[in-house]
Amino acid sequence: MQISEPPGALSVATRKLASVAVSIVGVVIVWELLGRYVIQNDLIFAPLSHIFAKMYQMAGTGELWRHLKASGSAFIIGYMSAVIMGVGFGLLIALRPRLSFFMEPWLIALYATPMIALAPIFVVLLGIGIYSKIAIIFIEAFFPVTANAALGVRSTSKELIEASRSFGATEGQVMRTVLIPYSLPFIIAGMRIAVARGLAGVVIAEIFGSVAGVGNMIWFSAESYDMPKLFSGVFILAGTSIVLMSTLARLERVVAPWRAS
């Protein structure tokens, strides 16, 4: 038997889509008019048409792809390493209270320390290049994933754990069938936070120790008052964040549909 959608569901989705479209179009029009007829100074502001023209120009010369390659490769390696190690370490400290007591003060201290204060240290130790960028991105993304993975395990219903054990499940089976599935929404939430922090790490790393990358492009554009180029970098980071956040939200609906509902 096919279950029909509740009345008005389509109209609600349509209204949401229309609201988003109106909001985007409104901002685009206001931004363009503000840049063309109110501020009229590319040294402090730029209309969207000038920004997209600059992006098209940089794509044509290859400069844009050079920056994207430099930032993208460092972000992928640093972010994925942080997710893999963060999930594993988060599960470990949640299941080993003594280790948690020893490690959590240090984790909290490092998480609370602004990365901009530590970035020069990584540059000095690892040099100007991809290794210092990967290290900074890793540190930025590691802690949200670790904290949320640990929180997911600690939030798992004790009744579910005891019920699985009462049916003879081993510790490994409890981990695979109860703890990890229940923790998945928390882990994905940590991954979404890590996206924003990792992209911030890209900018910080490329300000202090890079000759190419989106953050490097933003920094030198600000110094030369090239607002179209500066906003191009900002738009690239914002667009990347939106795409990754949306992808992770879809992933959560797939792996944890009960959470989404």
Mean model confidence pLDDT for the chain: 82
Q: At what angle do helices 130-154 and 115-126 cross, to 10 degrees?
A: 130
pLDDT category at 1 given cuts 50, 70, 90 is very low
Q: What is the pLDDT of residue 210?
A: 72
Count helices and strands (H / E) in the chain.
12, 0
pTM of the model: 0.82
Average pLDDT over residues 103-114: 78
Distance CA 44, CA 130 (A): 31
Distance CA 214, CA 75 (A): 11
User: How far is residue 247 from each of residues 138, 150, 152, 240, measured CA to CA in Å?
Assistant: 20, 23, 21, 11
Each residue's pLDDT tens digit, 202-235: 888 888 767 778 888 888 888 888 888 899 989 9
CATH 3.30.1700.10 fits 71-260, yes or no: no
Contact 86, 149 (CB under 8 A): yes
User: What is the percent of the chain with per-residue pLDDT over 90, rounded to a whole number?
Assistant: 10
CA 117 to centroid of chain Cα atoms = 21
Q: What is the pLDDT of residue 119?
A: 81
Distance CA 235, CA 68 (A): 12
User: What is the percent of the chain with per-residue pLDDT over 70, rounded to a whole number?
Assistant: 92
Average pLDDT over residues 60-64: 88
Distance CA 71, CA 134 (A): 10
Tokens of 238: 């914002």
Q: What is the pLDDT of residue 162?
A: 74
> Torsion-angle region of residue 62: left (phi > 0), alpha (psi -120 to 50) or beta?
left
Compute the half-sphere exposure of residue 67: CA atoms within 13 Å on the CB side of its CA. Answer: 26
Each residue's pLDDT tens digit, 63-79: 889 989 888 999 999 99
Contact 134, 75 (CB under 8 A): no
